[in-house]
Structure 1
C-alpha cells in the first residue's frame, strides 16, 4: 500500500473509531438541546420518582422547625450515603453540603431549604404531619426530595461532569437567616454560581417562572413598646394614654409609603400586631405594636424613618417608645436579585426541557426569601416551579391546607440537574476559548 493511501486509511479509521466512542459515551457530553429531555425521562422513571416521593412523605410526616432539622438532616445524609455522594455536615447546626464531580473547579451550587413551619396541618391524608403544631406548609419537603433526586442522577454521571456540583441542604429559611449562617461557615467556598428552585401554586403545573434582576423584595420586622401612664378610663385626664399614641403611630407609618416613597419604587409597611390592655374600663400602661417592612431599595433608610416616626409620635402624645428592628432575633433579608446571564441560561434550559411555552416571565413580588443572601454573595438565580392543577386546588404556601403536587417532583429534579450540567459545560467552553487565546 502506498504511504499516502495508508495515511488516509489510518486517518479514516481513527475518525470512525472516535465517532463510535462518542456515540456510546454519556449523553451529558452530547447534543446540548437533548440534555434536559433525557434528564426529565430519567427523573420520571420509577427508580427516581418513587424514591423522591418516599423521601418527601417521610420528611412531611416529621416536620422540624429552623435549626431543629436533626432528623431531616440525618435522613439526607443517609440517602447521600446510599448513592455514594460525599458530604460535609453539620453546617449551620443541621445543614448538609454534598459534592459530586471532579472535586475541582468550576464549582456550581444547587440549594434546597428544609425547615417546616409552626402550623397545624388541616389536610387529611395518609402522610399527614405526626408532630402537633408543625407542618411543611411551604414545600421545603418537596425541595429536599427534588435536590436528592438531582443528586441521584448527577452521581450516576459524575465521571462526565466538567467540574463540581455542590448540593446545599439549608436549615432555617423561615425568618432565621439559615442561608447567612451557612455562608459564614463556608458553604460557598470556591462556588461561582448558585441556583434555587421553589414550588408554587401561583403558576400552572410544569410552568417555570423567573425574571432578571430584582425578583423578591428585601424584608424586615419591627416591634415597638409605647409606654404611658395607665388609669381609669372614666378619668383619662389623669393618665397618659398609650392607646391614642399607638393609634397615631399606626396611621403615621402609612405615610412613609404614600407620601415619602416614589410610586414606581414599591415598598410596604404593614402593622400586623397591636396589643394593649385587658379591660374595657382601664387605660393600660403600655401598648405593643409590630409589623413588617418590604422594599427593593432604600431598606436601611426606611428602617430609620420607622424608628423616627414611632419615637417622635410617642413624644407628641407624652409617651415614651422603644423600637426593636430585630424582634426575636429575626434579621432583615436583602432583596433577591437574579443574575442576568444565569436568568438567560435558565430560560433556555426550561424551554429545552419543558417546551417553548413552559417559561413564564415572572413579575417581581413583595415576598422575600433568604436565598437572597446567596445571590448577594455570588451570582445567583432563584425561580418558581408551578404545580397548580386545574382539576385540583392547591392552597398557597403558609396555609394549613397547603399540599405539594408530587407529580411535579421530576420536573424540579430535572431542572436542577440541567442547570448544573449546562453551567459547567458553558464554563468549560469559555475557559477553553480563554486558554486558546492566551496561548496565541
Structure 2
C-alpha cells in the first residue's frame, strides 16, 4: 500500500537553498554557512547544542514522549570549482561551487527540522540534527567523532543526492552503498644523469613506468573477479629538462573498493611491488597510504525500518565508486545512507563537474526522506527497547 506523502511548504527552504548555493565555502572554512544555519535555527527557536567544532552545527528537538536518540546528518562544504551553470542563483564566490549538491543536503535537513519543530508530538524520543563540515576534504566526520558530539545516539541517517537518478527517486539497500576511498603516494629516489649517458645514473622514470603497470596486476591477479576494486594512477611527475634524467620521480593515485579486507590486501601488494621494483633498479622508495573514506555499509535492520516507512518508491542502487565519510559514523553507530535523485536528464553533469545542476525539486524528496526515515528509525529502536 502506498503511504501518503508528507506535505509541507518548501518556499522558505528553496530560498535558503538558493542562498547557500550562491555563498559556497570550502572545507573547514564554512564560517558564513554555519552562521546562517545558526541564525535560521535561532529564529525557529530550535535548540543548538555545543560541539567544540570550528564550523558546523548540532541542533536538537526532543519529542513529547521519551524514547531513543537518533541523528540526521547533512554535509555543508563546497568544492574548489568555478561554476559554469546558467542558474539564476549561481555561485557568487569565485572558484568555489556546490558542485556536489551539499546545499541540497543541508536545506533538506533544515526542512525536516522545520517539520519536527511544528510536530513534536510525532517524535517519541530525541532527534539531533548534524550539519557536518569538511566532507570534501575528508576528516569532517572524524572531527565530529573526536568531539564526542554524537554521545548516546543509537542510529544515524544520511543521504547524498544523485544527479543520475530522476527527481522523486530514492535508492537504498542494506549492505554496501559507496566505496572506501584511499590515497597512495610514491616517490622513487634514483640518481640523475645526462640524458645521453643513462648508464651514469639510476633512472627513476623507468622504475615509475614499471610500477604503474605492476599496480594494475593487483586487481587482475590478487582480487576475486566478483569484487569491485579500482586502482587509478592519477598523477606522475618527473624532471623538467629535456636532456637530463632526474634523480626523483613521483606518482599518486586512488584505490576504491567495498571490502576492508581487500583494502588490506591492496595496500600490502602495493608496498611489496613498489619496494621490489625500486630495489631491482637500484633505487629507494618512499610510500604514503592514507584512508580518505571507509566503505559505506548500511545496517540491515535499520535500513528495512527506514524503507518500510518511506512513501517514495525505493529502488535498488547502483553501487558508487565515489567516497563519502558517512561510513566514519557507521564504525561507531549503526546507520542508513541513501541516494536521492536530483536530476536524471540525459547526459547530465555528474558530481564535481562545473556544470553540475541539482534541481530544487530534489528538496521535496530529501525532506521527506529525513522525516519518514527518522520516524522509521525511532519506531524500530523504541520497539527494540521494550
TM over 0.5: yes
Q: What residue number does 1:307 align with? A: 271
Deviations 1:1-42 (A, max 9, x none): xxxxxxxxxxxxxxxxxxxxxxxxxxxxxxx975x52x2x11
Distance apart, 1:376 and its partner CA: 1.8
Q: Kindly indicate whether the alpha-carbon contact (under 8 Å) linking 2:71 and 2:127 is maintained by their aligned counterparts in 1.
A: yes
Where 2:293 maps in the other structure, the secondary structure is coil
CA distance in 2, matches of 1:59, 1:427: 34
Q: Kindly indicate whether the alpha-carbon contact (under 8 Å) linking 2:343 and 2:358 is maintained by their aligned counterparts in 1.
A: no
Matched residue count: 383
C-alpha RMSD of the superposition: 1.8
Question: Which has the greater radius of gyration?
Answer: 1
Where 1:191 maps in the other structure, the secondary structure is coil
Distance apart, 1:387 and its partner CA: 2.1
Distance apart, 1:116 and its partner CA: 0.5
CA distance in 2, matches of 1:224, 1:422: 47
Normalized per residue, the structure richer in helix is 1
CA distance in 1, matches of 2:357, 2:343: 10
Q: Kindly indicate whether the alpha-carbon contact (under 8 Å) linking 2:234 and 2:252 is maintained by their aligned counterparts in 1.
A: yes
Q: TM-score, normalised by structure 1?
A: 0.83
Distance apart, 1:366 and its partner CA: 2.2
CA distance in 2, matches of 1:175, 1:310: 27
Q: Unpaired runs of 5+ in structure 2?
A: none
CA separation of 1:270/1:120 partners in 2, compared to 1, >3 Å: closer, same or farther?
A: same
Q: Kindly indicate whether the alpha-carbon contact (under 8 Å) linking 1:92 and 1:178 is maintained by their aligned counterparts in 2.
A: no
Q: What residue number does 1:347 align with? A: 307
Please point out which of 66, 91, 105 is paired with 2:27.
66
Q: What residue number does 2:373 align with? A: 419
Distance apart, 1:158 and its partner CA: 1.5
Q: Kindly indicate whether the alpha-carbon contact (under 8 Å) linking 1:69 and 1:94 is maintained by their aligned counterparts in 2.
A: yes
Q: What residue number does 1:405 align with? A: 359
Distance apart, 1:89 and its partner CA: 4.0
Matched, 1:367 2:322: yes
CA distance in 2, matches of 1:361, 1:152: 30
Runs of 4+ in 1 over 6 A off after TM superposition: none
Where 2:212 maps in the other structure, the secondary structure is helix
Q: What residue number does 1:55 align with? A: 16
Distance apart, 1:369 and its partner CA: 1.0
Q: Kindly indicate whether the alpha-carbon contact (under 8 Å) linking 1:91 and 1:97 is maintained by their aligned counterparts in 2.
A: no
CA distance in 1, matches of 2:285, 2:159: 41
| Residue pairs, 1:78-117, within 5 angstroms | 78-102=39-63, 105-117=67-79
Distance apart, 1:90 and its partner CA: 4.5
Q: Kindly indicate whether the alpha-carbon contact (under 8 Å) linking 1:89 and 1:95 is maintained by their aligned counterparts in 2.
A: no
Q: What residue number does 1:19 align with? A: none
CA separation of 1:118/1:372 partners in 2, compared to 1, >3 Å: closer, same or farther?
A: same
Q: What residue number does 2:332 align with? A: 377
Q: What residue number does 1:267 align with? A: 229
CA distance in 2, matches of 1:389, 1:202: 5
CA distance in 1, matches of 2:146, 2:140: 10
Q: Kindly indicate whether the alpha-carbon contact (under 8 Å) linking 2:111 and 2:367 is maintained by their aligned counterparts in 1.
A: yes
Q: Kindly indicate whether the alpha-carbon contact (under 8 Å) linking 1:342 and 1:381 is maintained by their aligned counterparts in 2.
A: yes
